[in-house]
Structure 1
Amino acid sequence: MFILLTDVLTCPRCGPEFGLILLADQMGERRVVQGRLGCPNCREAYAIRDGVVHAVPASDPAPRVTVEDGGSSEGDAEAPVRLAALMGLSGVTGLVLIDGPGGRHGAAVAALVPGVEVVAVDGAAPAGGMENGVSRVVSGPRFPFRDDKMRGAALTGGADDERLREALRVLVPGARLVVDPAPAGTGERLRALGAEVLLEEAGVVVARAPGRPVALGRRPPG
């Protein structure tokens, strides 16, 4: 986990207003390898193991299930380029969210866009070791991040109403949200949430989060 992600992580039990306190046991090159995050409000502790943040309360049910991402198979060398282009990451720096199976392309996306840290979120711990430019987070239905912090987002493992709302909440105003695969009616649901739909075809929807345009090449405040 990239050390600066600590400023963005929040308690999944208490909500995005409640930040977490880091207790690092092992670090290397500005990344936390082993440690834990504690919530000063509810006293819940979240483990960091092998660089992966396990942001799921102990009382939560079984991890959420994601579906396979359409058009982004492991053998598709163009998948990272496609994700970066759809999210409009040219010139962007800061945090970028990839939710679901598409997170396996996180390192390649980070390599394509210097200055980007990919936050790869899924419902279960990934296999493999730590990667440059990627912070991996195991999450429940709610994203454990503060509002308006992500410079782009891609939902590749399902997009129910709660996930769409959560993705728009964590995006910097004007940043792009990619839904791939996009269930029928995704465009209409995003419009109802105030987003501007930019692309809607072949099972893919790209929308712009409500608010002012993204100032490219600058990190979000905070």
Structure 2
Amino acid sequence: MIEWEYKEALECFNIIETCLKCIYAGETHMCRVLAVQLRILLCEKKPKPLLLRLLPDIKISKLKEVKYINLNEYNNNENLSIGTYSDSLIMEMPFETMHFFNGIEDCSVVYGNDVIELEKWVDQIITAYPVPITIRKLIKLVAEKGGGAHVDKNQEPLLEALRRTGPFKLNIGDLIIIALSKVVQKISFYLIQMYESQTDSENIILNKEHPRVLQATRVPSNCYDYPHNIVNLFLILPSGK
């Protein structure tokens, strides 16, 4: 493991921790900064993504596939009012959102069963509307066009589609960025412990009592003292889409 590359990755991890802390305090614009760190760690082409340079054999659990569901199947879901959308479809994405009493929203990846290499992992489709969009595409859209490190002269249609708020306070793109950042956060625990133990084994057993794990940014614990909603991330599509 190259020393300076590890230190650069550690800085990215520190920024992710700070951004998540800000987001859980209501500073949701920090999702733009998260996207830049994800681009560095997961999506760079030349050289390879920083995580892949440090963990060349890394594999991550696949996401569940995007699927379409008839809205009538949600008739008994208390978190969704069908109303005039009864002839429409739901596109369910592989993410789960949590909504707390004080307005805080969180999002987590919903995994499938298999594990795949990092380069294939970032090319998984996470939404199929208005066109198929991969993890890599979303990160680069936000980082390179949507205010992460650059703002285009003209509005990017795909980015605008991902900024639909739907039933959530945060827009869909930001919720997914948060979920992806939490995946990287967990990987950081392994990488830091590998570095400290001076081992190249990516099968290291995670020490959950490590200070980095214990001090990691999470939704404030008092949020769970009150009722909260858990909802799959979805888009309501007009019939025929």
Which is greater in Rg?
2
Of Structure 1 and Structure 2, which has the larger fraction of its residues in helix?
2
User: Normalising to structure 1: TM-score of the pair?
Assistant: 0.25
Of Structure 1 and Structure 2, which has the larger fraction of its residues in strand?
1
User: Normalising to structure 2: TM-score of the pair?
Assistant: 0.24
